[in-house]
Amino acid sequence: MTAILLTKNVHLSYGKKEALHGIDLDFDEHGITALIGPSGCGKSTFLRCLNRMNDLIPRTTVTGTFNFKGQDIYAPTTNLVELRKQIGMVFQQPNPFPFSVYENVTYGLRLTGHKDRQFLDEQVERSLKQAAVWDEVKDDLNKSALSFSGGQQQRICIARLLAVQPDIILLDEPTSALDPISSAQIETTLLALKNEYTIIIVTHNLQQASRIADKTAFMLNGNLVEFDLTSKMFTQPEQQDTSDYLNGKFG
C-alpha cells in the first residue's frame, strides 16, 4: 500500500485553545480509513484540515505537515478550488444545492468550464451509478434534488463529488442523519467505491467503522491514541483507552 496523504505533527488551535496536539496519520491510497472517538476529541477538526475547511473559521491556526501526492496542502500557492476538487467532502446533513439532480451533479464540471452536453450526460450517469443512486433518480433528473429522501440526497451529494473525479473523499458522519436502511445503502456504496478512491470517514457509529473500514484511528482529547487495521483494533486493541472506548465505558 502506498500512502496518498501523509500528515505529521498536526497542531490546530482555535484562538488560544489547542484542539489537536500533534497528530501523525498516513492514509493509504484506496481503501477506507475510519476516524473514531468521543464527541470533541478532534476527529472532525482533523478531517477538516485535510482539505482546508478550517480556513473558513476565524482565528484558527494549523501547523504541521500535510503532504498530498508530494504537494503541501497548506502551501501559499495551493489553489483551494483545485485542492477541494481532488479532496472532496460529504457532510453530516445532506446538502444538495436547491437545483435539479442534473444541475447538482454537473455543478463542479461546469465550474471547470465543461459545457459539452454529451460529456455532461455521461458524467451524470457515471457518477450517479457509482454513488448507487442512478436507478432511483434516472427518470427524475430534472426534479429538485431536495425532493428526494435523506438517503437519496446524501448519495446525490456523493455523486456530485464523484463527478469531478477526486482522489480522496472525506465524509463527516455521513449517515448520522439517516435511517438504518439508508445508512446501509451508503455503507454498501462506500465499499464499492473504495477500490477506486481513498475514503476517510468520521463516524460515531463503531459498528459502521468495524463493518467497512480497512484501518481505524482512535482519537481522544485531541490526540491520536491508536491507529491500526480495523480487524486488529476491534479484536485486540493495544491501548486500554481504545478498549474502554470500544466497550462503551466512556464517550
For residue 96, give Cα distances in angstroms to 54, 100, 107, 129.
21, 9, 11, 17
Q: Nearer Cβ to other proteins, position 134 or 234?
A: 234
* Helix 117-130 and helix 150-162, axial crossing angle in degrees, nearest 10: 130
In the complex, minimum distance from the CB of residue 213 to other proteins, in angstroms, rounded to a whole number: 9
In the complex, minimum distance from the CB of residue 173 to other proteins, in angstroms, rounded to a whole number: 18
In the complex, minimum distance from the CB of residue 28 to other proteins, in angstroms, rounded to a whole number: 18
Please, which residues have CB within 8 angstroms of residue 48's CB and are 6 or more apart in sequence?
54, 89, 172
Q: Nearer Cβ to other proteins, position 145 or 233?
A: 233
Question: Which residues in the chain belong to E strands, given as ranges?
Answer: 3-14, 17-28, 31-36, 60-68, 71-72, 87-90, 168-172, 198-202, 215-220, 223-229
In the complex, minimum distance from the CB of residue 212 to other proteins, in angstroms, rounded to a whole number: 8
Q: Nearer Cβ to other proteins, position 71 or 235?
A: 235
Name the residues that contact other proteins, by CB under 8 A: 184, 187-188, 191, 207, 210-211, 230-231, 234-235
Q: Nearer Cβ to other proteins, position 87 or 213?
A: 213
Q: At which residue does the C-alpha cell 465505558 appear?
A: 249
Q: Nearer Cβ to other proteins, position 44 or 208?
A: 208
Q: Nearer Cβ to other proteins, position 14 or 234?
A: 234
In the complex, minimum distance from the CB of residue 174 to other proteins, in angstroms, rounded to a whole number: 15
Distance between first and last Cα of the chain:
32
In the complex, minimum distance from the CB of residue 187 to other proteins, in angstroms, rounded to a whole number: 6
Alpha-carbon gap, residue 35 to 33, rounded angstroms: 7
